[in-house]
């Protein structure tokens, strides 16, 4: 049985505009409930929406950055359904004529590259938020009602959880690069639903599509896909046929759970939004927005390879995040060694970011501090271990690295005439190690270097110690 997984994503992204989509209420996160509302976003009778120009520009920016075609003529529609968080009884969205179509993101797994097609990017308004209390009541917060959204719908081109993760991560970084959203899943400004089913290529048999909701992290997306792959494979092998269904991800149980079956497609009874005119764009307007886009990750990676002679792997990692790529270029200007700077950022800075579970934009490490540490190591003024310990400290504290090196006397000693006395003393105290080395036990040399470092309180240059020890051991 040759089974293939088909994965498509529906991603809702809140745009970082100053005001909401169709009114002048502030678009901010974390305000007291129901304080940023008005008659328009609460859907009072007789009120008229007015399209937010900044939201439209941000949506076009997103479409261009995602390699989409921008439709010069589109319109707004009413998507009708009942839910307590939808105050008007309909959502202003786009149906048959979206703003953007036919884009893609290219993902790189390390083993292969793959284009994941994007079917559409359309604009719409967000709904309110249901707050469930411990007493069993449900309260409504309408501050989010009317916040500008773009919905990004991919084609079912992904076949693994890794591809879905890379697509989401690339999407998030692109949207951050162009400044249209802060894309924080924990604050709800990026929300993702997964559509997944499996097909037997030999027989053509398929499982029903499962739409998975309620995922609040990329990790949850990956785990939900992996769980569904196991569950649906078992159904396919057993010949069980399921209808399309909506499931939710339960983080505690580590599994998806059925919410409802979908016997037929949802009928939203779309109609034209008569209170808003059609969106007719001039080509020159779209071209002006295109020229305002910053350098995007894919283009930046190519430039890093050409300009800094980095490997494709290093350039890809460094260009994924705007803050990291900016840090790399700022430190390179001060150090002048692209490979060394790349190694320190990829091996040490990114590891610390992952350990602290923070976004690169939140770190206190400055380009100046990182440059000082790398230069001192390259110039053998401090050893690598000291540099790594110092990096961890200034990453947390933000203190001045050069002042710490000076105040603590961390400058490495490379003066051979000074270090020779330490070498002689260590050899006198470790006769067995000399015998072991001459008997072919190479680890004895490492032990002796360690003893020299200990005797110098970590200030001696280990390369110089190594050289002096070899000279005496081989004499």
The pLDDT tens digits for 356-405 are 988 898 899 999 999 999 999 998 888 888 899 999 999 999 899 999 98
d(CA 374, CA 22): 51
Least confident of 178-187, 240-249, 413-422: 413-422
Q: Does any domain span residue 366?
A: yes
Residue 217's φ and ψ, nearest 5 degrees, are: -160, 160
| Predicted pLDDT at 1 | 63
Distance in angstroms (rounded) separating the CA atoms of residues 101 and 73: 12
The verdict on 465 and 348 lying in the same domain is no
In a domain, 100, yes or no: yes
Q: 191 lies in a domain?
A: yes
With contact defined as beta carbons under 8 Å apart, do 100 and 72 qualify? no
Band of residue 456 on the pLDDT scale cut at 50, 70, 90: confident
Residues 51 and 170 reside in one and the same domain = yes
Task: For 173-250, list the strands marked E by DSSP.
Answer: 190-200, 210-215, 245-250
- The distance of Cα 8 from the centroid of its chain, to the nearest Å, equals 19
Q: Is the pLDDT of residue 145 over 90?
A: yes
Residues 257 and 402 in one domain: no
Inside any domain, residue 455: yes
Judge if 257 and 362 occupy the same domain: no
Summarize pLDDT for 158-170 with one digit per residue, the tens.
999 999 999 999 9
- The strand pair at 3-14 and 148-154 is best described as antiparallel
What is the CB-side half-sphere exposure of residue 198 using CA atoms within 13 A?
24
How would residue 3 be classed by pLDDT, with cut points 50, 70 and 90?
Answer: confident
Q: List phi, psi (to 5°) of 412.
A: -75, 140
CB 127 within 8 A of CB 144: yes
Q: What is the mean pLDDT of residues 418-440?
A: 86
Residues 167 and 270 in one domain: yes
Both tokens of residue 108? Answer: 């790189």
Q: Same domain, yes or no, for 395 and 460?
A: no
> Is residue 159, in this structure, part of any structural domain at all?
yes
Confidence of residue 419 (pLDDT cuts 50, 70, 90): confident
Same domain? For 196 and 279 the reply is yes
pLDDT > 90: what percent of the chain?
Answer: 63
Residue 133 lies in a domain: yes
* pLDDT at residue 159 in the model: 95
Q: Tokens 């502030």 sit at which residue?
A: 26
Please check the confidence at residue 323 and state whether its pLDDT lies above 60. Answer: yes
pLDDT at 236 over 90: no
In the numeric block, which tokens belong to residue 374? 């790398």
**280 & 304 share domain:** no
**pLDDT > 70: percent of the chain:** 99
Give residue-wise pLDDT tens across range 48-67. Answer: 999 999 999 999 999 999 99
Confidence bin at 288 (pLDDT 50/70/90): very high
* Phi (first) and psi of residue 127, to 5 degrees: -100, 175
Q: How far apart are CA 169 and CA 151, in angstroms?
A: 16
CA quadruple 37, 42, 48, 50: dihedral positive or negative? positive
What the block records as the tokens of 329 is 């270029």
Residue 459's pLDDT band (boundaries 50, 70, 90)? Answer: confident
Find the distance separating the first CA and the last CA of the chain, reported in whole Å.
69
Please name the helix (run of DSSP H) or strand (run of DSSP E) that holds residue 458, with its range, or none: none
In this structure, the answer to whether residues 23 and 142 fall within a common structural domain is yes
- Sequence-distant (6+) residues with CB within 8 A of 367 are 327, 330, 331, 334
**Is the pLDDT reported for residue 157 higher than 80?**
yes
Q: Which domain holds residue 97?
A: 3-287
Cα 221-224-228 angle, rounded to 5 deg: 140
pLDDT tens, position by position, 252-281: 899 999 888 875 656 788 999 999 999 999
**Of 287, 321, 339, which residue sits at a domain end?**
287
How high is the mean pLDDT of the chain?
A: 91
Give pLDDT tens digits for 194-231.
999 999 888 888 888 999 987 888 999 999 999 999 99
Q: Which two tokens stand for residue 37?
A: 């509302």
The verdict on residue 292 lying in a domain is no
53 CB neighbour count, 10 Å cutoff: 9
**pLDDT tens for residues 183-193?**
988 888 999 99
The CATH number of residue 453's host domain is 1.10.10.410
Count helices and strands in the chain by DSSP H and E runs: 16, 16
Q: What is the pLDDT of residue 437?
A: 86
**Given this model, what pLDDT does residue 266 score?**
66
In a domain, 103, yes or no: yes
Is residue 17's pLDDT more than 60? yes
Q: For tokens 């961390």, what's the residue?
A: 410
Q: How far is CA 56 from the centre of its chain?
A: 24
Instruction: Report the half-sphere exposure of 66 (CA within 13 A, side-chain side).
Output: 36
In this structure, what token pair is assigned to residue 35? Answer: 């304080």
- Both 278 and 180 in one domain: the answer is yes
Task: Looking at the structure, tell me whether residues 222 and 249 fall in a common domain.
Answer: yes
Q: List, in sequence order, every residue forming a beta bridge with 103; answer none if it has no partner.
A: 118
pLDDT value for 462 = 84
> In the prediction, which pLDDT does 296 show?
92
The last residue of one of the domains, among 255, 287, 319, is 287
Counting the structural domains of the chain, the total is 3
User: Which residues make beta-bridge pairs with 117?
Assistant: 104
Distances in Å between the Cα of 81 and the Cα atoms of 44, 86, 167, 269 are 17, 8, 30, 8
Sheet holding 90-93, edge to edge: 90-93, 77-80, 271-272
Tell whether the model's pLDDT for residue 10 goes beyond 60: yes
Last residue of a domain, which of 287, 319, 345? Answer: 287
Length of the chain in terms of residues written: 475
Looking at the structure, tell me whether residues 395 and 375 fall in a common domain.
yes
Confidence band for 327, pLDDT divided at 50, 70 and 90: very high
């Amino acid at each position: 049985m040759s089974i293939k997984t088909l994965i498509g994503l529906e991603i809702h992204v809140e745009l970082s505009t100053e005001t909401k989509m169709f009114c002048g209420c502030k678009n901010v996160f974390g305000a007291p409930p129901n304080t940023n509302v008005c008659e328009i976003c609460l859907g009072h009778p007789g009120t008229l929406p007015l399209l937010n120009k900044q939201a439209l520009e941000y949506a076009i920016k997103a479409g261009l950055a995602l390699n989409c075609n921008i439709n010069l003529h589109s319109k707004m529609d009413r998507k009708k359904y009942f839910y307590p968080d939808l105050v008007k009884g309909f959502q202003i969205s786009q149906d048959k004529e979206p703003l953007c179509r036919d884009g893609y993101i290219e993902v790189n797994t390390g083993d292969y590259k793959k284009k994941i097609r994007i079917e559409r990017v359309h604009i719409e308004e967000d709904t309110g938020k249901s707050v469930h209390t411990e007493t069993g009541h449900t309260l409504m917060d309408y501050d989010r009602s009317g916040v500008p959204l773009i919905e990004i719908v991919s084609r079912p081109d992904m076949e693994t959880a890794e591809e879905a993760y890379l697509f989401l991560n690339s999407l998030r970084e692109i949207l951050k690069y162009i400044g249209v959203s802060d894309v924080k899943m924990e604050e709800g400004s990026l929300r993702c639903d997964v559509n997944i089913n499996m097909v037997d290529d030999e027989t053509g048999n398929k499982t029903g599509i499962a739409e998975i909701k309620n995922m609040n992290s990329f990790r949850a997306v990956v785990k939900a896909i992996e769980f569904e792959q196991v569950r649906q494979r078992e159904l396919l092998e057993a010949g069980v046929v399921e209808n399309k269904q909506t499931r939710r991800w339960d983080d505690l149980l580590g599994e998806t759970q059925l919410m409802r079956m979908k016997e037929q497609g949802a009928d939203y009874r779309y109609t034209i939004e008569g209170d808003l005119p059609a969106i007719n764009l001039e080509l020159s307007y779209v071209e002006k927005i295109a020229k305002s886009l910053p350098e995007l990750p894919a283009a930046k990676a190519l430039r890093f390879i050409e300009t800094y002679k980095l490997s494709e792997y290093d350039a890809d990692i460094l260009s994924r995040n705007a803050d990291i790529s900016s840090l790399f270029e700022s430190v390179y200007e001060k150090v002048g060694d692209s490979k060394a700077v790349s190694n320190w950022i990829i091996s040490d800075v990114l590891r610390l970011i992952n350990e602290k579970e923070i976004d690169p934009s939140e770190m206190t490490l400055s380009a100046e501090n990182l440059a000082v540490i790398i230069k001192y190591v390259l110039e053998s003024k401090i050893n690598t271990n000291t540099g790594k310990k110092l990096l961890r400290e200034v990453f947390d504290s933000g203190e001045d690295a050069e002042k710490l090196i000076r105040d603590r006397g961390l400058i490495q000693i490379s003066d051979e005439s000074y270090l020779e006395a330490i070498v002689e003393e260590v050899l006198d105290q470790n006769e067995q190690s000399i015998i072991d080395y001459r008997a072919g036990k190479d680890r004895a040399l490492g032990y002796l270097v360690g003893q020299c470092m200990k005797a110098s309180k970590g200030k001696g240059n280990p390369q110089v110690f190594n050289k002096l020890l070899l000279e005496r051991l081989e004499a």
